[in-house]
Each structure stands twice: as C-alpha cells, then as structure tokens.
Structure 1
C-alpha cells in the first residue's frame, strides 16, 4: 500500500476535542459499538432502519418511487412498490455496514466474500497504464471497497463529508484500506496515480449538473452523464475496468465482480462512450436492483429547459 496520504483535509483527531464536536463523537462511538454486533444482527437492524425511513422520510421515498417507476416500467405497480421498499431495506443495511467498513478489519469477512474476475485486473495492470475502476453507488459502497482491498492495492476518489469530524473518521478508515483517498475534484492527483500504474476507484453515476455532460441513455432515459471518464482514459491510457459489489440475499456474504476492460474506450465519441459506461453500470445494477442508491435524483438534469421535472409532485 502506498505510504503517501492525502493532505488536503484535516484528519487529526486532536483538532476535534472542543465540546461542539461531542455530539458527533457520540454518534461515532455508537457506530463503533454497533459494528461489534454479529453481522446477522446488523442486517436485521439495517432492515429496521430502512423500514422506518421508508415510512417516515417521504421525500426520499418519493424520489425512489419515481426512479423505480422510470427504470422498471415492465414491473406492475405492486412490484415497483415492493422494490422501493426493498431498496430502503438494503440501504438501511448499508448504513450499518459503514461501521464494519470503518471499524472492523475486512480480513474478518474473507470467508464470506467471493471475488469474481480478478484476472481482468491482473491483465490490465500488466499493460502498465493504471486502472480506473468503474464503480457505482451501490448500498455496499464502503464495505465493498474495504473488502476488495484484501485482493488489490488501490486508491479511491471520495466526496468529502460535510461534517469535518465524520470526514476525518471516514478518510482515516479509507486510507487504512486504500493507498490514498483523493478528493473528488483532484483530477491531477488521479492522473498522477494512474501514471504510476495504480488502481483508482471512480464513480460517475450521479447527477452533477450541466457542466461537462452529454445526455446518454440510462435505463432508456436520456440522462446527464459526465464525459470526464473519456478524458481521463484518453490522457492516461488507462484501462477502465467495471467493478461492482453486492451482499448475498440467502445468507450473510458478499460478492465482488470485476469485468473485462471496456473495449474501444475512449472511442472519440463522447455520447458513445457515456452510453457504454451507463449500459455497463445498468447491467451491474440489474444483478440486485434493490442494492442501488435510488434515493438520489439521478434524472434531475433534463436535456431541454421545457422537459418535465420527473420529481415534481403533481397537484
């Protein structure tokens, strides 16, 4: 693992001793305590958290209902609502898994984790140009990343948390697993790591506004999709390897998937590239559709100013 850590954020706990940070410390301590529970208990508690959120957090439930309705029109209304509810349960478990990722050693879960397609990573590294791990916002986000560091030596790009103390805990946890936790806008640092033939986890599947995007299909919906993935691959020559991670449904356990690198990428056509990226992520989501972050307004930015706002409630 790389010894060079990111210094762009404050991670010294001594800077958070003032009483105003005590409520945050209390919450972090509670997370640590919950992380010590058996995993079956954590999954049960996570489903309970998800059920409460499903019933009480109306705005996020509405966003999820819209997304599921748009992306799975083949399902009946009852099936769509069942998937919405299950998505809340899965993301509730994901909240519990944050503690596992931040405070437990991933080696403890080696016996219930299976990695598929690691040969694609080995082959791509042999090219010497680095790997951009094309990830997605699955509910196993932090734990999946933590588990995979038992098998590969990688860096990660992260959006810093708004709470500086929680951000410090998150960053320190990730830097224990990864070589470096780069800021989400640190493209120079990303390119530097790729030049050193490093592996960097990178996700593109959120709505970042109108800057630097094309409207490529995602679940057959024209969706604002960033073109930065193509620029990064073009400038670095890196391989773009799709990467996903899911929890099993029948018993506690996890599966990590690496796919073959994207072919003919970048192609020189931003729309074609973004379409390929979206199709790749969509294919992975369909493995376990409930384990995706449907609470995000993925279709907020529309192609035209007159296009309807999917998330506006009708009177």
Structure 2
C-alpha cells in the first residue's frame, strides 16, 4: 500500500509539473516517446499493425507502418495532454479546444447519449462537454488498481460542471436513472469486452464482438444519440458534435449495433492514425473462426 501511495503521488506531481510546459514541448516529448515505444513495445506494435492490415488491406504496407507509428505517438501525446486537461484553468483549456458542429443539441430538452468512439482525443472531448454544457455529465468508469490515482482521476474528471461517475460494478440502474433525469451519458461502446457480453457485427467487413449498450441505453433511457468526435491538432483538439441520429433506436438491436459500428468505421477512415489500434479489437472470434492475432 505504501508503494502504491508513493507511486500515485509521484504520478500526480508529474502531471502537475507537465501542465506548465508549452504544448509544443509536450507534443515533442510525446512524439519521441511514441517513436521509442513503437520500437520496443513489440506485442502492441504487432496488435496495431495486425488491426491495420485486416482493416485496410487495400493500403500499402509502408502507409500502414506510418499510421501505426503515428498511432503510438498520438497515444503518448494525448496521455501527456491529460496533465493540462486535468489541472489547468478553464481559460487555458478553452484556448486549446475548438468546438464545432451541432452544439445546440446540448440545449435541447430530454436525455441524450454522447457516442464517443475510441479516438485518442477522448479525454479532451469529455472536458469540452463539461465546460460548455450545463447538463449533468454521466460516465461509466473502470476502477484503477492504484487507489491514490483512482481517487485523483475521478476528482479531476469531475472538476467542471455537474458530473456523475459510476463504476461498472454498480450496474445499469443508476446510469439509466441519471439518463432519465436529463443527464448526458458519455458512452464508449466500440471496444471488445468479450463475446459473452457482445454480438458480432461487421467492422471493416470483419465480424467483431461489439457490446449492444448504445441501443439498449437509448431505449431504456429514452435518449437521443449524438456522435462526439475528437481530433488531435497541433494547437490542441478539434471537437465536433454531430446532429442526433434519426430513427434510433429501432426494435432490432443487431441492426442498431451494426449502424453504430459502420458509423465508427466511416469516422476512422477520416483519421486512421488517431484510433485506438493498440486494442485487440478482434480478439473474440465467431465459433469456428481462426484467431487473428
């Protein structure tokens, strides 16, 4: 426990110190660190390149390697960016976050779900929504193994506006209640959580285990679904809020989950290096299908 406390406090002190550095310095450090990890982190490099090869077979190998290396760089840059996202003043953060799109959707009455795919700018998107919206922000989180860091991260993510953070272990009931009370649920349903909790829908033409939480939450919470996209830029982040989906959800969970998966695919094609390719998206396979990794 003592070691965890020391480690947690050291990381927190580092994040506070990094926040004072110019953004260009942080991005430079992130570029060097990402390039280094791309060389030494062989298992994750293999996962990343495998994902890109099966999703972009039409792209030449040199381009896929370039995307993979850049993906590692974005991973490190956005990790370092959490220093100022979590500790700096609202004025400083606003200067680095450019919001666009259907911002009026945030003021429309009724529950809403912010569909936020796993692009590296996720944390920036979450902070942007907390800063510009008066709604209660609802999020589901996974507890960190280090209790000091876990408490600090929860406190940092809830420092702007009215924020409700629910541990996955708490179940669906409090999340649905918060939605029906008019909250905005920040939902990230595009990862592989195992085939027991998922259904297989196409993702870049490959059956991928995908949780059907988006249509289920939308139905139970009587909520509109609004895509929220975050793009890393040299000066910070571009955050785009799209118009809410029409005719969603339907009575067909598979159809609705497929719609989500195809939408995520279309967004990835606009910024392929900024997606979380280090994740084993195709780890779960349909019965009889060979492993991909």
Question: Fold-level match, TM-score > 0.5?
Answer: yes
RMSD: 1.7
Contact 1:156–1:202 (CA under 8 A) maintained in structure 2: yes
| Residue number in structure 1 paired with 2:143 | 160
Distance 1:147 1:255, change over 3 A: same
Alignment partner of 1:176: what SS? coil
CA distance in 1, matches of 2:185, 2:45: 32
What corresponds to 2:254 in structure 1? 271
Q: Compared with structure 1, are the counterparts of its residues 120 and 223 closer, same or farther at alpha carbon in structure 2 (3 Å cutoff)?
A: farther
CA gap of 1:158–1:19, structure 2 versus 1, over 3 A, is closer
Q: How far apart are residue 219 of structure 1 and its match? A: 1.4
Say whether residues 1:52 and 2:36 are aligned partners.
yes
Whether 2:83 is the aligned partner of 1:94: answer no
Partner of 2:207: 222
Q: Which runs of 5+ in 1 are unaligned?
A: 1-15
Inter-partner Cα distance in structure 1 for 2:253 and 2:160: 33
2:281 is matched with 298
Runs of 4+, deviation exceeding 3 Å: none
- 8 Å CA contact 2:102–2:243 kept in 1: the answer is no
> 1:120–1:261: 8 Å Cα contact kept in structure 2?
no
- How far apart, CA to CA, are the structure 1 residues paired with 2:48 and 2:272? 12
Q: What is residue 69 of structure 1 aligned with on the other side? A: 53
1:39 to 20, 23, 33: 23
Q: Indicate how the Cα distance of structure 1 residues 111 and 102 shifts in structure 2: closer, same or farther if over 3 A, else same.
A: closer
1:213 alignment partner in structure 2: 198
Correspondence for 2:152 among 146, 155, 169: 169
1-structure distance, mates of 2:114, 2:257: 15
Is the 1:113–1:254 Cα contact (8 Å) retained in structure 2?
Answer: yes
- In structure 1, the residue corresponding to 2:158 is in which secondary structure? helix
Cα displacement (A) at 1:239: 0.5
Q: Which residue of 1 aligns with 2:117?
A: 136
SS of corresponding position for 1:211: helix
Q: Is the 8 A contact 2:121 2:237 kept in 1?
A: no
Q: Is the 8 A contact 2:216 2:253 kept in 1?
A: no
Match of 1:234 in 2: 219
Which residue in 2 is equivalent to 1:9?
none
Post-superposition Cα deviations, 1:166-220, rounded to whole Å, max 9, x if no partner, equal 1111100011135111223532111111111111101101111112322111111
In 2: Cα distance, 1:118 partner to 1:105 partner: 25
Distance 2:195 2:48 in 1: 22
Deviating more after overlay: 18-27 vs 68-77: 18-27
**SS at structure 2 position matched to 1:240:** strand
Residue 184 of structure 2 corresponds to 199
Pick from 226, 231, 242 the counterpart of residue 246 of structure 1: 231
Instruction: Measure the CA separation in 2 of the matches of 1:23 and 1:277.
Output: 39
Contact 2:250 2:256 in 1 (8 A): yes
* 3-state DSSP of counterpart to 2:139: strand
Q: Deviations over 1:96-121 (max 9, x none)?
A: 01212221234313233221223452
What is residue 289 of structure 2 aligned with on the other side? 307
The answer to whether the Cα contact below 8 Å between 1:106 and 1:147 also exists between their aligned partners in 2 is no
68, 83, 88: which one aligns with 2:67: 83
TM-score, length-scaled by structure 2: 0.93
Call closer, same or farther: CA 1:118–1:298 in 2, change over 3 Å: same
CA distance in 1, matches of 2:123, 2:106: 23
Q: Deviations over 1:132-156 (max 9, x none)?
A: 1111222122222112322123222
- Name which of structure 1's ranges 280-289 and 33-42 shifts more when overlaid on structure 2: 280-289
